Amino acid sequence: MPNEEKLSGVLSEFARTMVTDFPIQRILDRLVERIVEILPITGAGVTLITPSAEPHYIAASDDSALLYEQLQAEVGEGPCLLAYDSGEAVCVADLSEEGRFPAFTPRALDAGLRAVFTFPLRNGSSRLGALDLYREEPGPLEKDAMEAAQTLADVAAAYLLNAQARAELSETSARSHFSSLHDALTGLPNRVLLVELLEFALMRATKSDVLPAVLFADLDQFKSINDTYSHRIGDELLIAVAKRLGNLLRSSDVLGRLSGDEFVMVCEDLDDPSQVDVIAQRISSALGSPFELSCGLVDMTASVGIAVADHGESAEEILHRADMAMYQAKSKGRGRHQIIDVHEQAESERRTTLKFDLHTAVRNQELHVDYQPIVKTSDRRIIGFEALLRWTHPIYGPISPSVLIPLAEEAGLIGAVGAWVLAQACIDRRRWSAVDAAAPLGVSVNVSPHQLMEPDFVDSVKATLGCSTSGIDPALLTLEVTESVMIHDSARALLVLDDLKQLGVNLSLDDFGTGYSSLNYLDRFPADVLKIDQTFIGRLDQGHPSQAIVASIISLSRTLGMKVVAEGVETLEEHQFLSEIDCDACQGFYFAQPMPSNEIDLLIERPDASGAVLLPVSFTPSHRDQLGSTIKSAFCASLDTLIRPIES
């Protein structure tokens, strides 16, 4: 019979485990040690059992007890397993007379076991395992000892459940922590962990003076794989890519997946920075072989950006440089690698800044419109003006339209910017009406293909023409559109153009001859004016072929009932040839450079006797200065007129 004080002590000891983080194995080891101290046995063991799995967490008070526990697990039978299966205690007072365990009994007897008493570790109707008490002499346990043993088994089960819950919570926390730092698809470090590992690499580099390098790989045209085969195939490919790249790693390298199809390799311990170029070539070679996926063989390449760390550079900064280098590589074709080009990076950063600043450019009055005269070829009489968007950035100065327009399209601002240009051009044209020449002057406004295809573009034009401040006769407005609008959705483009014609505005086909669809759509394009691109005009001095092309375009336009404007006229010879072949109008630096609206005001105020507005033979900068002096003189004369009555 166990000493009640000792039993109470054991129970108290196990109660204290409820508020500790003792692991399960430690609890079991302590349990069997204490049971041997208070019960008339020679050894004790515990085995925790999970259904359909091998027994685990085996504890024993000594080597003999451990042998008996392991023997039952090995042969798959014995008092322990029977107590677990039945939920009832199993008593074997004399093992030599026991016939229920033919595989276990003889081997246990040979090992010195004579009696065994097993008690299930119960959790309601389910069990966790069993507590085994061993004796080296046959004979039963007294009733009190049996009851004490079952009590110890039940109490131990409760505390083991608590320990298991803590262990599972810890495992869940560990899994959560792992998943927060690793990519769920490939198991590679994610951005958070990669940045942390790169920071450590940079810290180590300060001591060794061997700076790490970052290779930023982005799969080429990966989106087409998802679109063609499905995202499941895309995931297969990403896993396969991760495996191939992982095979390239040295012991000091780290591979991570940032997002989508972006992989980053951090390389330390480089003997020479040039080694990184070799690693990039290995990446290209590794991805060069087709990938065998469930859909079949798939070819894939990657663009790789390379950045070697600088002293004092942060992980995010070097990642950003590698990312920029990757985009530089991708812009030059597939399957390339590129070390960061600082000049190209500076230009990219400049474009990013400009794109951001463009949002406030209108509000800050950084945008303005210049006007270039369009003249009648025969007598240089001005027949209209082309409105040209200009942006003077407070830091970068004047921004080229070839940069500005694509930026506005990328930023999603082309509709707003284009609407502002149209409104400003109409406002200026409305002001000129007060001093209009005998022949009304038109104003032309360029329309981006993106702007034209916006759902509310026609309504926007209609609203501008009907506004009290910008409203003008629609016949005075010409919208210039390039033939590229016909490439992606010609049916919708033609509908929009027809709607614009219904408003009464004129349409001009700009940059004719530089696209791919000129002759295919020319007969359907409802244009009033065709503008010959300056690339043709600039080659007129090269002989018959260019001259023949320009003459043919003019002849074709006549047949289709269109007026013709030659763009980019810069020499007397070009003007003379265009006059000889009866080109309707010209535009270019030979006549005048784009000028602000106040200079247009002055031109309009000085018509000839017939009321026509003429340009000098060459409207050079000296003419512009002369106009400026005239404006200044006119201002001073007006001021003098105001001051004299006051002085008198």
Q: pLDDT digits over 534-573, tens only?
A: 888 988 876 668 899 899 999 989 888 999 999 999 999 9
Is 622 part of a structural domain of the chain?
A: no
| Vertex 197 angle, CA 194 and 202, to 5° | 120
Say how many Å lie between the first and final Cα of the chain, rounded. Answer: 135
Question: Do 33 and 143 fall into the same domain?
Answer: yes
Burial 142-162 (b: 16+ CB within 10 A, else e): eeebbebbbebbebbbbbbeb
pLDDT digits (tens, 9 = 90+) for 262-320: 999 999 877 777 788 888 889 988 988 899 999 999 999 999 999 888 877 889 989 98
- Cβ-based neighbour number of residue 354 at 10 Å: 20
Domain boundary among 314, 340, 366: 340
Are 151 and 68 spatial neighbours (Cβ–Cβ below 8 Å)? no
Residue 460 lies in a domain: yes
Q: What percent of the chain has pLDDT over 90?
A: 39
Split at pLDDT 50, 70, 90, the class of 350 is: confident
What's residue 294's pLDDT? 92
Q: Quick check: 439 pLDDT over 80?
A: no
Q: Of 340, 364, 387, which residue is a domain's last?
A: 340
Residue 62 maps to which CATH number?
3.30.450.40
Question: What CATH number does the domain containing 335 carry?
Answer: 3.30.70.270
Residue 617 has pLDDT above 80, yes or no: no
Residue 20's pLDDT is what?
Answer: 57
pLDDT at residue 355, rounded to an integer: 86
Over residues 96-125, the pLDDT tens digits come to 999 999 999 999 999 999 999 999 988 777
Say whether pLDDT at 210 is over 50: yes
Q: CATH number of the domain at 587, please.
A: 3.20.20.450
The reply to whether 511 falls in a domain is yes
pLDDT computed for residue 1 by the predictor: 46
Across 78-92, 99-113, 534-548, 628-642, least confident range: 628-642
Domain assignment present for residue 209? The answer is yes
**Is pLDDT at 180 greater than 90 in this prediction?**
no
Claim to verify: residue 296 and residue 383 sit in the same structural domain: no
Contact 49, 82 (CB under 8 A): no
Query: How many independent structural domains does the chain possess?
Result: 3
Long-range own/partner contacts, residues 110-117 (CB < 8 A, 24 or more apart)? 111/64, 111/67, 111/68, 111/71, 112/64, 112/136, 113/64, 113/68, 114/138, 115/139, 115/140, 116/68, 116/79, 116/90, 116/92, 117/41, 117/79, 117/89, 117/90, 117/91, 117/92, 117/141, 117/146, 117/149
The reply to whether 367 and 313 lie within a common domain is no
Position 183 pLDDT exceeds 50: yes
Shared domain check, 457 and 600: yes
Burial class (CB within 10 angstroms; exposed 0-12, middle 13-18, buried 19+) of 345:
middle
Residue 633 lies in a domain: no
139 plus 94 within the same structural domain: yes
Q: Which helix (H) or strand (E) holds 254?
A: strand 254-259
Task: Please tell me which of 141-145, 345-349, 386-390 the model is most confident about, judged by mean pLDDT.
Answer: 386-390
Q: Based on the domain organization, do 505 and 569 belong to the same domain?
A: yes
Are 467 and 542 members of one domain?
yes
pLDDT of residue 620: 45
Tokens of 365: 């009055």
> In terms of domains, do 413 and 480 share one?
yes
Instruction: Work out the percent of the chain whose per-residue pLDDT is above 70.
Output: 83
Rounded to whole angstroms, the maximal C-alpha distance in the chain is 144
Is residue 635 included in any domain, yes or no?
A: no
Higher pLDDT, 626 or 291: 291
Q: What is the mean pLDDT of the chain?
A: 84
Residue 329's pLDDT band (boundaries 50, 70, 90)?
confident
Whether 124 is in a domain gets the answer yes
Q: Are 313 and 273 members of one domain? A: yes
Q: Which domain holds residue 544?
A: 353-609
Q: What is the pLDDT of residue 623?
A: 47
pLDDT top residue among 265 and 340: 265
**Same domain, yes or no, for 286 and 325?**
yes
Q: Is residue 623 part of a domain?
A: no
Strand partners, 471: none
Is residue 328's pLDDT more than 60?
yes
Bigger pLDDT: 209 or 110?
Answer: 110
Name the one residue in this structure whose structure tokens are 């005269």: 373
Per-residue confidence (pLDDT) for residue 116, from 0 to 100: 96
Query: Domain boundary residue among 340, 375, 409?
Result: 340
Looking at the structure, tell me whether residues 492 and 422 fall in a common domain: yes
Is the pLDDT at 646 greater than 50? The verdict is no
Checking if the pLDDT of 145 tops 50, the result is yes
Say what the pLDDT of residue 642 is.
39
Co-location of 375 and 447 in the same domain: yes
Q: For 9-68, what is each residue's pLDDT tens digit?
A: 666 666 565 555 667 677 778 878 888 888 899 999 988 887 766 666 678 999 999 999
- DSSP string over 257-302: EEETTEEEEEE---SSTTHHHHHHHHHHHHHHSPEEETTEEE---E
Place of tokens 């065994």: 116
